[in-house]
Chain A
């Protein structure tokens, strides 16, 4: 039971990192990013390839963050020129391009067969619990650091600029500030956090394939963010929690209802995610953790 709770908590932390970083993009800055899974995938493959080639974990995590941020740079520049609906489509296409490249470049990524045997930090502590708990401590630390970073960003003069841009870009320009540079930097920081999440995911799963990085992951994270409330850090955590509840809860329900088949349960789980997204957009667009009159 403890092992199960630890496993769920680790996955929750990884989704929390994704939701927090998407929230930095959209909730705090207004950048409509539908390609978050692309940064997640880049981070996962970067970290996996580094550690499979015998490099220390630190190098892998640094590469994951740096490469994801680097990939975000041209997208951030594009974001300055595009209407928001076009940005949504372009980022979605970006994440699919990442997946296509990962699938096609077999010499590097082993294509659809994926990368097996990715080592995990603290594995030497023994499989029966301690290693898992140590890894949990690592991902919790990552979440705490991400929250501190985002809070610092939001409350700093830089952060006030970010929110001012979200609310009224023209006024910010009129004050002599440069919204362009700020948007690009925020895009890169958020992408780096998603890259770290990818690295943590790869090391935890030990095995990654391109099919784990479908656009559906992006939409899961969007649902979590909308459900918790755009622009709210606590909302991101609640949203990620509800998401994990749906993804894991359906497994528990399946144990209680042995007549329902595995694939049918997967369909139901997906239907629930879609339905929640629609219902929240319709009836509670500000999310659970944000008061109605705000924003």
Chain B
């Protein structure tokens, strides 16, 4: 267990962190624009992963096609959730949409497990020999998945910071009334935001599914680490959320030899509680006062 072991853990943690980062990004979008912690984030990922598995079961072996199905399914569900539930709850404060999102998360998961059962599925991948980089064995799939996650993050950042709709989205996040008064089509902003959330969670679900196993609880289990990252990074700072998620992911993996597997899961929750106690604004966020 030399340094190569720890570097291996760090690389594993970084890819894990990027996956959490995608979920944190999705949480951050809804937190900033829709103003509530969205508990369906994890289950949107699960639905994406199952859509990918469904394509695989139908005999299509292309990972890209499976990924496309994952993104499509998550986007469709995200849009449906907005149109049928969250749109009606706009302006009802934070708690109503949060409770609804918890109810929807439970509903989505139970419908999924009703039809797909509790069996675990895996994406069939050809076995590849790990490539050696400076004497450290690295799974080439990890590099691929990390790359896909990174591209997805960059794409969302580009939309947020370089496109007109991204600018409008940030305006709505800053001040809804002011944004509406200055002629921004708020309905369109929400629509695009939820589509973006579906896109990000679809990619996240696929990446998570390929790295681990596909089961009904897979997304829900990502929720608290992702909340931790979103809060650690600071609400309203998408880059902060992704960076924080990397920190959470690497810290979780690196702590495994010391803390053991059970406490590894607890680490993210501890980070969350400590950060909120000490610095509620997160590492990169604005200071938000109580009430």
Q: Do A and B bind each other?
A: yes
Interface centre among A88, A268, A273 (most CB of B within 10 A): A88
Residue of B106, B107, B117 touching A216 (CB-CB under 8 A) = B106
> In A56-101, which residues have CB < 8 Å from any B CB?
78, 80-86, 88-90, 92-94, 96-97, 100-101
B228 at the interface (CB under 8 A from A): yes
- Among the listed A78, A88, A96, which residue makes an inter-chain contact with B37, where contact means beta carbons less than 8 Å apart? A88
Contacting B at CB under 8 A, from A86-145, are 86, 88-90, 92-94, 96-97, 100-101, 103-104
* Nearest-CB residue, chain A, relative to B93: A84
Known: A85-B98, A86-B280, A90-B272. A275 touches B114 (CB 8 A): no
Known contacts A89-B231, A104-B262, A278-B85; is-contact A96 B269 (Cβ 8 Å):
yes
Q: In the complex, what's the smallest C-beta–C-beta distance from B285 to chain A, in angstroms?
A: 11
Interface size counted on chain A using CB atoms at 8 A: 44
The secondary structure that dominates the A interface is: helix
Shortest C-beta distance, A41 to chain B (Å), equals 14
B:62-105 near A, CB below 8 Å: 85, 88-89, 92, 94-96, 98-100, 102-105
Q: Give the contacting residue for A270; candidates B95, B109, B269, B270; CB below 8 A.
A: B109
Taking CB atoms, residues of chain A closer than 8 Å to B272 are 89-90, 93
Give the interface residue-count category, chain B. 35 or more
CB neighbors of B among A246-295 (8 A): 263-264, 267-271, 273-278, 281-282, 285
With the chains together, A88 CA to B37 CA distance in Å? 9
When C-beta atoms are compared, the residue in chain B nearest to A223 turns out to be B103
- Give chain A residues whose Cβ lies under 8 Å from the Cβ of B113: 263, 267
Residue of B nearest to A111 (CB): B262
Known: A216-B106, A281-B89. A86 touches B276 (CB 8 A): yes
Check if B105 sits within 8 Å of A274, measured CB to CB. Answer: yes
Q: Is B265 an interface residue (CB 8 A)?
A: yes
Q: Given A97-B266, A100-B269, A278-B85, is A88 in contact with B110 using a C-beta cutoff of 8 Å?
A: no
Give the residues in chain B near A281, CB-CB below 8 Å.
Answer: 89, 96, 99-100, 103
Q: Which residue of B lies closest to A91 (CB)?
A: B273
Partner among A81, A83, A100, A275 whose Cβ is within 8 Å of the Cβ of B107 = A275
* Known pairs A90-B273, A96-B224; A85 contacts B37 (CB<8 A): yes
Set of chain B residues within 8 Å of A103, measured between Cβ atoms: 262
- Give A74's nearest chain B residue, CB to CB: B277
Q: Are A82 and B109 in contact (CB under 8 A)?
A: no
Residue A222 CB within 8 A of the other chain: yes
**A-side contacts of B114, CB under 8 Å:** 264, 267-268, 271
In this complex, what residue of B is CB-closest to A80? B290
Expressed in whole angstroms, the minimum distance between the Cβ of B59 and any Cβ of chain A is 27
| Chain B proximity of A223: nearest CB distance (Å) | 7
CA distance in complex: A146, B132 (Å): 64
- Contact partner, A278, options B100, B265, B290, Cβ 8 Å: B100
Contacts of B31 in A (CB 8 A): 85
Q: Which B residues, 245 to 270, have Cβ-Cβ distances below 8 Å to chain A?
A: 260, 262-263, 265-266, 269-270
Which residue in chain A gives the minimum CB-CB distance to B117?
A: A263
Q: Would you call A226 and B109 a contact (CB within 8 A)? A: no
B65 to chain A: closest CB distance in Å? 28
B104 touches A274 (CB 8 A): yes
- In the complex, are the beta carbons of A219 and B102 less than 8 A apart? yes
A267→B99 contact, CB < 8 A: no
B269 touches A274 (CB 8 A): no
Q: Give CA–CA (A275, B108) in the complex, Å.
A: 10
- B199: Cβ under 8 A from any A Cβ: no
Question: B89 near A93 (CB under 8 angstroms)?
Answer: no
A83 to B165, CA, bound (A): 29
Residue positions of B touching A, CB distance < 8 A: 31, 36-37, 85, 88-89, 92, 94-96, 98-100, 102-111, 113-114, 117-118, 224, 227-228, 231, 260, 262-263, 265-266, 269-270, 272-273, 276-277, 280, 288, 290-291
Q: List 25 A-B contacts (CB under 8 A).
A: A81-B277, A81-B290, A83-B290, A84-B95, A85-B31, A85-B98, A88-B37, A89-B276, A92-B227, A94-B273, A100-B266, A101-B266, A103-B262, A104-B262, A169-B291, A170-B291, A223-B103, A264-B114, A267-B110, A269-B110, A277-B99, A277-B100, A278-B100, A278-B104, A282-B100
In the A-B complex, list the 7 residue pairs whose CB atoms are closest, starting with the nearest: A277-B103, A274-B106, A274-B107, A270-B110, A267-B114, A100-B266, A278-B103
* Interface of A toward B, CB cutoff 8 Å: 32, 78, 80-86, 88-90, 92-94, 96-97, 100-101, 103-104, 169-170, 216, 219, 222-223, 226, 263-264, 267-271, 273-278, 281-282, 285
